[in-house]
Amino acid sequence: MKKVIVEWVDSNVLHGWQMEGEVSCDIAVCESLGYVKYEDNDKLILSQTVSNFGSQMGVLAIPKGCIKSVKELRAK
- Per-domain residue ranges for the chain? 3-14+26-70
Q: What pTM was computed for the model?
A: 0.79
Identify whether the C-beta of residue 9 lies closer than 8 Å to the C-beta of residue 25: no
Q: Would you state the pLDDT for residue 23?
A: 64
Select the more confidently predicted residue: 76 or 22: 76
The residue among 39, 55, 54 whose CA lies nearest residue 6 is 39
| Residue 17 in this model has a pLDDT that exceeds 90 | no
Q: Which helix (H) or strand (E) holds 34?
A: strand 28-39
Select the more confidently predicted residue: 11 or 15: 11
Distance CA 52, CA 62 (A): 25
Q: What is the pLDDT of residues 18-71, one digit of tens each?
A: 667 666 677 889 999 999 999 999 999 999 998 999 889 999 999 999 999 999
- Phi, psi dihedral angles at 16 (to 5 degrees): 85, -175
Distance CA 4, CA 70 (A): 7
